[in-house]
Structures are given as structure tokens and as C-alpha cells.
Structure 1
């Protein structure tokens, strides 16, 4: 796979994300700019094992209140947040940073690899506005070859959206929130 750079625009508020995925898919980094609510810049850096298994995530948020940081690391079946063990996160399979559709690609890729039509996953959820880390639960249903339904069964229970993915399982459109922007000349 070649180096991948993706741009998503927010469709609900004024915002844009640039995400760069390494050719080996073992790392990614992104910058999110949101103009709403006094504005914010969020930088995120990912480290992966095989099949999008998150090993570590660093998030830095810059807003009018200052700089805020959080680091998530996988430790076997458990997780640490800023170096402290968080047993309530044990067994969570994926990490979801709320401000980017990139995170939905992790469970979708798993479903595509395992040829699943429906699945439920526990996730380490990071609220992008506060950087608060919690456990949550999400469900995905395959609607056809490139469409999935996302349903939140945890912190935002009842929320659902349809997602369209590309041939690599990366989110191209997230109903009501994000849409990929083509920047090719």
C-alpha cells in the first residue's frame, strides 16, 4: 500500500481533518481543526500492530483554555491512560477518538477480514472535546459491500449513522458528520 493521506470535512460544523497513514499501516498521524465553540486544534498519533490493533495513541488538544494531552497504551489485554492502569478498560478491542471517522475503520476492517455481517465491540472511547477516557460499546451491521450501519450501545446509546467505506475499509462518508474531500489535482 502506498502512503495514504485523507482529508475529511465536517458536515455538521465547520471543521477539517488531515490524516496521514504510513505505507506499512503501522502508524498514522492527523490534525483536526474545528472552528466551532471558540475553535480547537487536535493532533493525534497512532501506533499499530497487525490488523489496525492499536498499540498506542497520543492526543494533543489546543484550545482557548490551553494545551491538553492524553496517551493511551495497550498492555496485553489491558490499557493504560497517561501511564496509569485502567482496569475498567480491560478487554476493549479498539480505540475511538470521537473527532475522527478514522476510528470506525478499525472495527469495519476486522469485520471485512473475518467476513462478518454484524458485530459488537467494546472500545476505549476518548471524548475529543474533553479528552476524558471511558469504556463504551459499539455495534456495526454490514448493509452491502461498502455500507455499514454504526450503532452506539454505550455512552451515546441510541445514536446511529450509516457509513460508506472505500476498497481499503477506510470511511469515505459518515452520515451527518464527515465526508472525505478529494484533493487530487
Structure 2
């Protein structure tokens, strides 16, 4: 496993860090690109998975730009057929490789897959992802092998060309006039980062289709005003934080709910109920119902609920402490929502136990 870092030459202010891993299951390149796009911050995270022969199979991309997070997933069957976000992509038919327009790392795919003889040329059609548009088009390209580790890249739809100096793994050391590699070494990441990379995903799996929209809007970080309502009519108020991410190859959403927030936990002053909990949400086989598993190790409570989006509101029902419980997402906007936790009383009425008023911080 290697970690590589490049600096973009023409502005000197844009960087990429990528990790390259080769295993029995194939090849993975995962990276983060930070760019100054006409003075506007652009962050791109990606993961490219190939088989052992460097044939592109799966790509996940997430982009943060101008206050919005967008993502895409591409699947390739190895025979030139592609799916974009779960739908067939006939415009990409015949493409063999992925080309991320903001990254030098994906040049290693055709370099390693083709390996033409010195003096020979390999031609391909690449699925070219453009940023910040986040569009994908087919792009005919050529790689002329000039020397053992030197190639000339040519875009056959334009007059663009550049010489690539590559290393033993085919990754650019110098991408003429565009990128220069400035660091190379063992991955600077421990178990925590490795686990996060395996668990979290930049977007939903194409398998979810339109059903992903029920919760896709919640991805990111939220700041909360917390209200806990006691049986005796008292109200405890405080603050919290809530973080959501796609996980498990985008087949589920995992969140972390913290109240009081991390900055206020060290004092030991808990104005609201102590919560440091996590939820896993996944889509049931009917394509509409979401199942929820919530664990709060602080109290030992484990809840199972289920529900769906209806009329712009998400209602999830199950049990808590042996009584019917209801959680709901209300008043949903792109940057705010109200979460309510209710329990059913012996008389059949619903009692409001907690209310969280959320404002977006990240995402």
C-alpha cells in the first residue's frame, strides 16, 4: 500500500492525496482532491476499484462545491457496458477506463492495462468525469509509449497532449505542465482512518434507486437545540450534534448522535439526557420501508423501528422500554428539520419525550 501526493502546477494551490492498494481481490485507488476552482473551494473524494488486470469496475465520487454535496456511482461490467447511478449509460458504451478530470492518479489505469511496446500506441475510450459539472462523457484517448516510463497522453477529440513520467506502478511522477508529485510513502493512516475508509461511502448504492432520496438529504453534519421533556412537566434544554453518512458500499446510512456536543462533554455538566449513540438505516425488500437499528451504549437502550417517507415527513415506529415509540423527521428543508421522539401512554395517547431542532453545519 502506498500514499501519493501531487500539487497542481498552474496554480500551486491545488493538491491531491491518494492511497493505492493492491490485493488478491484487485486494485483500489482512493483519494481526496482539494482545488481552488476559479477562487472557489472544490473538494472531491473518490474510490476507484479495478480487477487484478487494472480493468475498471466501480467508481464512487463525492463533490463539495458552492455549499452543495453531489455524488455519482459508475459500474462497469468489463465488456464496455456502464451504469451511472443505477441506470444504463449507453453513451459510455465501449469505454474501458475511468478518467477523473481533477486527478492524475487515474492515468495509471490505462498505462498499466495497455503497456504498449516502446514506440507503439494504445488507444482507448475513457469515461471522462468533468468537475465541477460532475458530468460523464466518452473521450477517445491515446497513450504513446516513448520510453520505459514515459508516455505521451493525447485527447483524440482535441489537440491536447502532455508527456507523463510514471513510476514502477504506472502513477505519474510528472504530468507535463499540470501535476507534479511531491510525496510518496507508506499510508499515513492508522486503524481509525482505515476503518472509516472501509465503512463509509461517498454516496448511495445504485441498488437503492429512487428510494435513496428518502434519506439522502440528511447526509452531513447538523447542530441541534435539544429539548427533553420530563414526566413531571419539566423541560431540560441543551445542545447536540448529529452526523450522517452513507455506509456499507452505500447500502445503508449510519449516523452518530451526540448530546451534549463533544466540546461540552468534558465539563461533566449534562443539561440534557446523555447521548452518544449510533443508528444504522437500511432499505427493506419492499423498496419503500426503511428499517432502523439504534444503540445508545450510555443507557444500554437498543431500539428497532421501521417507517417511510410520506407527504414530506418520515415517521418511524417501534418500541422503547417495552412501549410503542415513534420517531419522526418533520418540517424538512435543505438546511433544517425538526426531529421528535414520542412514546405511547397507557391511555393510547402519544407523549412528546424529546424534540431536536436541527440546523445544517456540513454537507
**Structure 2 alignment gaps of length 5 or more:** 186-363
Q: CA shift at 1:129, angstroms?
A: 1.7
CA RMSD in angstroms comes to 1.7
Q: Which residue of 2 aligns with 1:146?
A: 149
Whole-Å Cα distance in 2 between the matches of residues 111 and 28 of structure 1?
18
Q: Which residue of 2 aligns with 1:4?
A: 2
2:8–2:178 CA contact under 8 A, matched in 1: yes
* Greater RCO, CA 8 A, separation 6+: 1
Q: CA shift at 1:21, angstroms?
A: 1.2
Query: Greater CA radius of gyration, 1 or 2?
Result: 2
Q: TM-score by structure 1 length?
A: 0.91
Question: What are the within-5 Å matches in structure 2 for residues 101-180 of structure 1?
Answer: 101-112=104-115, 115=117, 117-154=120-157, 157-180=158-181
2:53–2:113 CA contact under 8 A, matched in 1: yes
SS in 1 for 2:112: helix
SS in 2 for 1:20: strand
Q: CA shift at 1:170, angstroms?
A: 1.3
Q: Which residue of 1 aligns with 2:18?
A: 19
Whole-Å Cα distance in 2 between the matches of residues 127 and 183 of structure 1?
26
Q: TM-score by structure 2 length?
A: 0.47
Q: Which residue of 1 aligns with 2:55?
A: 53
Whole-Å Cα distance in 2 between the matches of residues 52 and 12 of structure 1?
30
Q: CA shift at 1:138, angstroms?
A: 0.3
Whole-Å Cα distance in 1 between the matches of residues 22 and 138 of structure 2?
30
Report the number of matched residues: 180
Structure 1: which 4+ aligned runs deviate by more than 3 Å?
none
Whole-Å Cα distance in 2 between the matches of residues 159 and 183 of structure 1?
28
SS in 1 for 2:108: helix
**Structure 1 alignment gaps of length 5 or more:** none
